[in-house]
Amino acid sequence: MVVRATGRTWNIQRRTGFGWARGAIVVGFRWLTRRWLRHYHRPRRLPARLSLARAGAAFLVLAAFACAGQHAIAQPFRLPTANRFLFDQGAEDKFFAATPGKTWTTGCFGCVRSDGWQMHEGLDIRSVQRDKHGEPTDPVMATADGTVAYVNTRPSLSNYGNYVVLRHVIEGVEVYSLYAHLHSVRAELKAGEAVRTGEVIGVMGRTANTRQGIAKDRAHVHFELNLFLNERFDAWHRKTFPGQRNDHGAWNGQNLAGVDPRTIFLAERNQGAGFSFLNFLRGQTDLCRVLVRQTDFPWLRRYPALIRRNPVAEREGVAGYELAFNFNGVPFAATPRAASEIRGRARFQLLSVNEAEYRRNPCRKLVRSRGGRWELAGNGLRLLDLLTY
């Protein structure tokens, strides 16, 4: 019922946006043409020409408004290739590239691999265009307006192969899209350069540094939407994994916490202009809540829109933050806490675990149950350490 109701809202918005705009332009253009014709069949008089100029100007203003209206309801994220089977119910196997011998769900975002115990942090979107050798040739496009954050063109250095990361600011929230396994990246694409929604950034391919590689029939772009955890990732990595290589600085997959792009695309489709990325983030299901005895760390400065209000902490002063994490470790809410609201002295305190969510999506192993008591597992502690480093 809810979906249908929002669907109807979207249709109305579409009609008032696109339909009205197009209608206004067509009617205006016809009327102007008629006026021009009539004008040139009459003896020329200055006032007539003036009023015609005025009408023309009014029409241009109207058309500009119509276009602005179209722009205002444009969706923040667009599919990165021409494959649109995501929206055809029952055609999911034409959209998602499955892992060998498995169903299309293994190409989705989530705990979809190794019987639910391995995370896949993006969508594997199948190729729909191939050359005569069967190689993918699909242009890969920017999902939203943004700037180039990182380009890797040394495929042997990453299991992402050739990949591009773009930075977007949607409703004041920084989000990073990632496009992996590219055959090639557009030649002049450099960090810091602006890109527009739908602009081609590269060509789909099968690059990866994994031993088995990606077979031709599985050719896909691996697409992610991420929040960024810490700009000091490189230093944290050196401290945490001494002697281990990090070839991509802060643009290492470990520093990018993914949300589900499929849910976003479908919600945009259903809700149209009513879709809010910020509300989508704020509405994530929590896997756990953790108290951090720290009052300043990079994530707080990067995502102020995700900080909630607490009058007690505003009155008494902030002594720490309560963070809510979804199953993939995305911190999607922070509530300041006063000293009077904090009990233990530990740096990180696990406050609660959503057991139903843990049963649904356990694969990141952020928490674990020991003798009936929940505790932060190694992955959870490492994530918190990175976040607050």
Region of 18-26, 79-87, 215-223, 329-337 interacting with Zn ion (CB under 5 A): 215-223
Buried b (16+ CB within 10 A) or exposed e, 51-63: eeeeeeeebeeee
Residue showing the smallest CB distance to Zn ion in the complex: 222
CB of 124 to Zn ion, least distance (A): 4
Size of the site for Zn ion (CB under 5 A): 2
Query: Please, which residue, 124 or 138, has the CB nearer to Zn ion?
Result: 124
For residues 137 and 129, the answer to whether their CB atoms sit within 8 Å is yes
Contacts 24+ apart (CB under 8 A), 111-114: 111/327, 111/361, 111/362, 111/363, 111/364, 114/363
User: Quick one: which segment of 49-57, 120-128, 293-301, 329-337 binds Zn ion (CB under 5 A)?
Assistant: 120-128
**CB-nearer residue toward Zn ion: 96 or 275:** 96
For Zn ion, which stretch binds (CB under 5 A), given 28-36, 122-130, 272-280, 352-360?
A: 122-130
Using CB under 5 A as the binding rule, whether residue 260 contacts Zn ion is answered as no
CB of 109 vs Zn ion, minimal distance in Å: 9
- Closest distance to Zn ion from the beta carbon of 168 (Å): 20
Q: Which is nearer to Zn ion, 124 or 322 (CB)?
A: 124
124 versus 260: smaller Cβ distance to Zn ion: 124
Stretch that binds Zn ion, among 124-132, 265-273, 274-282, 372-380 (CB under 5 A): 124-132
Which ranges of 73-134 does DSSP label H, i.e. alpha helix?
92-95
Q: What does residue 178 show for φ and ψ, rounded to 5 degrees?
A: -135, 135
Nearer to Zn ion, 159 or 246 (CB): 159
The minimum distance between CB 89 and Zn ion, in angstroms, equals: 22
Indicate the residue among 106 and 361 with the shorter CB distance to Zn ion. 106
Structure tokens at 205: 């391919």
Backbone φ/ψ region at 306: left (φ over 0), alpha (ψ -120 to 50), beta: alpha
Q: Which range in 123-131, 208-216, 246-254, 361-369 contacts Zn ion by CB under 5 A?
A: 123-131
The pair of structure tokens assigned to 337 is: 């806490």
Q: Is 168 or 222 the residue whose CB approaches Zn ion more closely? A: 222
Q: Which is nearer to Zn ion, 206 or 337 (CB)?
A: 206
Using the CB atoms, write b or e for 112-138: b if 16+ within 10 Å: bbeeeeebbbbbbbbbbeeeeeebbeb
For the CB of residue 160, give the shortest distance to Zn ion in the complex, in Å.
9
Strand (E) or helix (H) holding 206: none
Q: Smallest gap, in angstroms, from Cβ of residue 122 to Zn ion? A: 5
CB atoms within 10 A of CB 270: 17
Binding flag, residue 124, Zn ion (CB under 5 A): yes
Q: Which one of residues 167, 222, 237, 337 is an interface residue with Zn ion (CB under 5 A)?
A: 222
The phi-psi region of residue 114 (left if phi > 0; otherwise alpha if psi is between -120 and 50; otherwise beta) is left
**Cα separation of 389 and 385, whole Å?**
6
CB of 364 to Zn ion, least distance (A): 16
Closest CB 163 distance from Zn ion, rounded Å: 11
- Tell me the β-bridge partners of 247: none
User: How far apart are the two ends of the chain, measured CA to CA in Å?
Assistant: 45
Segment 158-187, which members bind Zn ion (CB under 5 A)?
A: none
Least distance (Å) from Zn ion to the CB of residue 366? 21
The sign of the dihedral angle between the CA atoms of 239, 241, 244, 248 is negative
Give the C-alpha separation, 155 to 152, whole Å.
7
CB closer to Zn ion, 257 vs 290:
257
Q: Is 322 in the site for Zn ion (CB under 5 A)?
A: no
Which residues contact Zn ion by CB under 5 A?
A: 124, 222
